[in-house]
Amino acid sequence: MAESPVWAVVALPLALAALAWAAAALDAVLGAASAGGTGSGPGPGLVRACGDPLHEAVRLLTQQRRRTLMADRPLTRIGVVVLPVAATLAAVVVPLGGRAVADLPVGVVWFNTMEVAVWGALWLTGWGADSAFPLAGGYRFLAQGMAYELPHMFVLITAALGAGSLDLGEIAAAQDGLWFAVWMPVAFAVYLVSALAMAFWGPLGHPLGGDLAGGAALELSGPDRLVFLAGRYLLLTVAAAVAVPLFLGGGAGPLLPAWAWTLVKTCAVLGALVWARRRFPAVRMERFMGIAWTVLIPATLLQMLVVGVVVLD
Amino acid sequence: MQAFAFWVLAAAAAGSGAAVFVVDSMARATFSLLGSFLCVGAELLLIDLHYLGVLVMLMMIMEMLVMAVFMIMYMMNPAGLMPMSMVHNRRGALAISGTAFAALAAGAVLVPWPERRGAPPADPTRALGEAVMGPKMLVMMVIGIAILATMIATVVLATHRGRYDRPGSDARAEGGGGG
């Protein structure tokens, strides 16, 4: 893989931030559409919803911080900041038009490591506030950790196995003509589910669940809350971006250049993930635990077996 | 540059390792230890062992988080937000750890290290995989299955009874009791 230009180091976070903002705007629009029932065409409510994320960001930036008694402030800060930092670092191995910002030969493992760092970020955020609901929210993610991580890890390995490489660029290149999503449909489906879980989003958003009055993020206010929520959107964006080299052929496609195809595919996956939040109800935690261990893990192992046999052939 | 990074990371690893015994809460101690391990993982990246380095980071984050749960669950001061100390039997512990450190450091300095034979492989990840999955295949398979069986057994035991289906009372049929 070719060395990436220096400006890419600046461009990557900017592109990520733009996509994350678009995801937040789409979520606001979907929310307004389902709440308002504007009928046909985008009404004024929907147009206003587009600006909602920006409006909210400015509101949070100017809001005064709320403090809890005996909070562990350094740990909270670390947790809040690690969230967007880990998401951005996870993105440095994503090939954009044939090249990634960091040419790491074990990109898949690096991506997974940064996702797991989010477990710690969430737990620290929940712990630091010294408040009951955030604490329970932080622990929720850890309690589900293995149920989220094992299927996720297995599908990542399956794609790597299909390409015979842990390098995201080489995995994308190995799908010449036939996308992994086509001949590894189970792995792709499980990836999308576990992407929701890793970004604690939508049906798997228990750590911030409404039944915990907002969970881990309950006591966050002002800029802290902005950084935390932006970090979650960045995480969702990165999960969508990595699905492209893993399963959707990377930048391959007719007419458009590679970077444009990567962007188009990322937007499509990101849109689907955001849409899933309004479309599917929250899955009960213990039910997901059961499904993960009895359905998802065996299914991903079988998928890996099939891919292994095909590759050996 | 590489030597500089090595020393910075080494100092950070030792420093945050020492911080484990200085900080006053179990959560801070756990994450100080994690910081130390992350520095060690980065040291491995410095010598181009990409896979091992990133793997150390991945496993250590997971391990420390699981450990945080158990340490806080079983510690003498639940919640651990109150000031607490990781140090017990100060004098004895200092003597033992001082002796152990001196012995290990003396070993590292005094042992005549062998000259390097051969060159590092072009792809250390592949070499590691072949070493593990070639001659050690049987051991790895047995260990792998044993670990997976342990994990599944633990989860089965833990989820035997969830908060919604208690034995004796049909909580599901009664409905409305979710919280």
- Give the dihedral sign, CA A122/A125/A127/A130: negative
User: Which positions ≥6 away from A167 have C-beta within 8 Å?
Assistant: A1, A104, A105, A106, A107, A108
Exposure string (b/e) for B98-123, b if CB count within 10 Å is 16 or more? eeeeeeeeeeeeeeeeeeeeeeeeee
Q: How confident is the model at residue B175 (pLDDT cuts 50, 70, 90)?
A: very low
User: Which positions ≥6 away from B5 have C-beta within 8 Å?
Assistant: B46
pLDDT digits (tens, 9 = 90+) for A96-155: 876 788 878 899 999 999 999 999 999 999 988 888 899 889 888 888 888 899 999 999
pLDDT digits (tens, 9 = 90+) for B19-46: 988 888 888 888 999 999 999 999 999 9
Taking a contact as any Cβ pair under 8 Å apart, which residues of chain B between 95 and 154 contact chain A? 123, 125, 151-152
The count of other CB atoms within 10 Å of the CB of residue A302 is: 11
Return the residue of A nearest to B55 by Cα: A109
Is residue A231 assigned to a domain? yes
B7 and B77 in a single domain? The answer is: yes
**CB atoms B159 and A72 under 8 Å:** no
Residue A31 to residue A150: CA distance in whole angstroms: 32
B67 and B141 in a single domain? The answer is: no
Scan for tokens 């130390």, then name that residue: B36
A146 chain-B contacts, CB cut-off 8 A: 151, 155
Residues A199-225: what's their mean pLDDT?
A: 87
pLDDT at B163 over 70: no
User: What does DSSP assign to residue A3?
Assistant: P
Is residue A262 assigned to a domain? yes
Q: Hey, is A287 helix, strand or coil? A: helix
Is residue A77 assigned to a domain? yes
B62 and B131 in a single domain? The answer is: no
B75 and B131 in a single domain? The answer is: no
Cα A55 to Cα A21, A25, B58: the distances in Å are 12, 11, 37
Domain that holds residue B10: 1-81
pLDDT at A1 over 50: no
Residue with more model confidence, B62 or A38: B62
For helices A222-247 and A145-163, what crossing angle results, to 10°? Answer: 40
A104 chain-B contacts, CB cut-off 8 A: 50, 54
Model pLDDT, residue A104: 84
Please provide the average confidence, as pLDDT, over all residues in chain A: 88
B77 and B4 in a single domain? The answer is: yes
Is residue A2 assigned to a domain? no
Is residue A154 assigned to a domain? yes
Would an 8 Å CB–CB cutoff place B68 in contact with chain A? yes
Q: Which of A81, A150, A153, A91 shows the shortest CA–CA distance to A122?
A: A81
Cα B40 to Cα B7, B18, B49, B100, B163: the distances in Å are 11, 14, 12, 20, 41
**CB atoms A289 and B155 under 8 Å:** yes
Domain that holds residue A40: 7-312
Is residue B13 assigned to a domain? yes
Return the residue of B nearest to A149 by Cα: B62
Percent of chain B with pLDDT over 70: 83
Residue with more model confidence, B166 or B39: B39
Would an 8 Å CB–CB cutoff place B52 in contact with chain A? no
pLDDT at A281 over 60: yes
For chain A, the domain total comes to 1
A125 within 8 A of A79, measured Cβ to Cβ: yes
Model pLDDT, residue A275: 93
Residue B78 to residue B98: CA distance in whole angstroms: 30
**CB atoms B68 and A289 under 8 Å:** no
Residue type, A291: I
CA distance A106 to chain B (A): 6
pLDDT at A10 over 90: no
For chain B, the domain total comes to 2
End-to-end CA distance of chain A: 27
Is residue B75 assigned to a domain? yes
Is residue A1 assigned to a domain? no
